A = this chain, B = another copy of it.
Amino acid sequence: MAQYFDQINKIAYEGADSTNPLAFKHYNANEKILGKTMAEHLRMAACYWHNFCWNGQDVFGQGTFGRPWLEAGDAMAQAKAKADVAFEFFSKLTIPYYCFHDIDVAPEGNSIKEYINNFAAMVDVLEQKQAETGVKLLWGTANLFSNPRYAAGAATNPNPEIFSYGATQVFHAMNATQRLGGENYVLWGGREGYETLLNTNLRQEREQLGRFMQMVVEHKHKIGFKGTLLIEPKPQEPTKHQYDYDSATVYGFLKQFGLEKEFAVNIEANHATLAGHSFHHEVATAISLGIFGSIDANRGDAQNGWDTDQFPNSIEELSLVMYEILKAGGFTTGGFNFDAKLRRQSMDRADMFHGHIGGMDHLAMALKRAAALVEKDFLGKAVAERYAGWNGALGKAIQSSEHSLQSLAALVEREQLSPKAVSGRQELLENQVNLVLFR
């Protein structure tokens, strides 16, 4: 069979002066930055779902992309055709990783047995594709939200049989992820939330979710999976409210069930903004709570209230995110997965390349700028200086619990303290950052 992207060659790095739209201008996989290659820093992945399981339909209209493998036909044959195109794309894009849901890669079938058999057969296919191409699996996951059975959630479903069905999918998806050398396993609770409080028992559903996650941890250890378990926060959509609202909410959930050492978060930029936070905030918060894991790289629209999943293109935003990640030591098993989709009008075959080439170049541009921020580290110095008082005698005494309200009140009164605020120097720091970003 002719290749789907037969008009497109492998994407190469051609440097900043290239005018070839199908080339990298900034992403140079083996270029070293702060002692590691760009590829090692960024650990980028393309996703199966937006690229190969979606035909451009939205709530108001039909698909526009005309993907042949999504047309009616023999389900397994179409799944294999889809895998051919997917790996053709990953290879030509030279992206090192990919990600998938179980039913992205295999037909769901009409029974649990069909599901199991189809998925097993397609895992064989994927294993062979990985071997042929060298493309690796950043993470796997199970889709527990599309089938009508999950209309009221999976782990938080009022019906324990549906909980069990979801557990079955996760069982197989975790096993497949391990077999395929996946470096993480992700749980996004698409419909783990509520549509109306009128019919919902919040405490019951939270307990169910807690038990589900414990089972996931137990299974990980049982099968010896060495990757990281990740929860992906999102505040809403499709549900009115989703339980894994944001990083801080996930942290509280993990603490309640004693799971904070077992899970990290997979932060999506667009989910951050839907939750009322900046992307930068969510990354910095997760790092500060010790639960930072991986990134779903995309962007939302600042004026639209749904998950637009556009390709990331703000170097201003990405550079600060990357700075936080570099300061925290970089990714371990995580990476940047492009959970991004084409606009419905982007119906040329080349558009899928444009989206990813842009995303990869933008991350590379941000990496170079973040490295410059780390090297100069005027931000780190400003922060250290600002909090210097906490390394003094009083600061240390407070932090080591040597003081009570009463002893501090006595101190303040005795010494007639009248401490004054100092400038936070926000405008100055903002200027200095821009001078690095826009050289």
Contact = CB atoms under 8 A, between A and B. Distances in A.
Contacts of A311: 427, 430
A411 to B, nearest CB: 6
A428 interface: yes
A92 interface: no
A389 B419 contact: no
Contact of A405 (B159, B161, B216, B386): B216
Interface stretch (A37-45, A82-90, A130-138, A274-282): A274-282
B406 A219 contact: yes
B304 A240 contact: yes
A30 interface: no
Contacts of A277: 241, 303
Contacts of A288: 202-203, 206
Contacts of A422: 159, 347
With most chain B CB atoms within 10 A of its CB, the pick from A25, A241, A342 is A241
Contacts of A1: none
22 contacts: A21-B428, A112-B416, A112-B417, A150-B421, A160-B389, A160-B392, A161-B394, A171-B405, A172-B409, A198-B430, A199-B429, A201-B387, A207-B399, A215-B403, A219-B405, A238-B344, A278-B303, A305-B305, A305-B306, A315-B316, A354-B431, A358-B430
B171 A60 contact: no
A377 interface: no
* Interface secondary structure of A, over-half rule: helix
Nearest to A317: B316
Interface string A151-182: 11000001111111101101110100000000
A408 interface: yes
A321 to B, nearest CB: 10
Interface stretch (A4-12, A250-258, A329-337): A250-258
A352 to B, nearest CB: 9
B315 A386 contact: no
Contacts of A237: 60, 304, 306
Given A112-B417, A276-B275, A168 B409 contact: yes
B412 A151 contact: no
A261 interface: no
A145 B387 contact: no
Interface in A122-148: 145-148
A161 to B, nearest CB: 4
A195 interface: yes
Contacts of A411: 164
Contacts of A278: 302-303
A77 interface: no
A218 interface: yes
Contacts of A399: 207-208, 211
A236 interface: yes
A94 interface: no
A38 B87 CA distance: 50
A394 B25 CA distance: 41
B389 A342 contact: no
A121 interface: no
A47 interface: no
A322 interface: no
Interface in A50-73: 56, 58-64
A315 B163 CA distance: 37
A346 B64 contact: no
A389 B201 CA distance: 13
Given A284-B197, A438-B365, A159 B419 contact: yes
A201 B391 CA distance: 14
A229 B306 CA distance: 31
B151 A409 contact: no
